[in-house]
Amino acid sequence: MSAIFIYVTVPTEIDAKAIADAIVTDRLAACANIIPGMKSVYHWKGKIEEAQETVVILKTRATLFQAVEARVKELHKFATPCIVSLPLLDVNQAYLDWIMAETKP
């Protein structure tokens, strides 16, 4: 059993809430954290851009990454959304058990 956090950035809190609600409702993640107020500086189409964004962290099974990625892409407004998994190397066993119990096998 392994779990991951999936880090996603979106333009607004409203977008974050829509993605979080869909992913958790579909049991693709046990939990979603929404962190507003992130400022991004990035290269896009030959220029350096800045934008306010919101972070969504989804807590799920490693085996569900592709399903989560597909669902986020359906709901996301960006042409190239940030959807990355972060492995959880050391996890409180009770917390890991909870993630596993609350997500699709």
Asked if 81 and 73 count as a contact pair (C-beta separation under 8 A), the reply is yes
Q: Report the distance separating Cα 68 and Cα 19, nearest Å.
A: 10
Name the CATH topology of 3-101: Alpha-Beta Plaits (3.30.70)
Structure tokens given for 83: 């959807």
Rounded CA-CA distance 33/30 in Å is 10
Q: What is the pLDDT of residues 6-30, one digit of tens each?
A: 999 999 999 999 999 999 999 999 9
DSSP assignment of 41-81:
EEEETTEEEEEEEEEEEEEEEGGGHHHHHHHHHHH---SS-
- The predicted model gives 31-51 an average pLDDT of 96
**pLDDT reading at 1 higher than 80:** no
What is residue 100's DSSP assignment? H
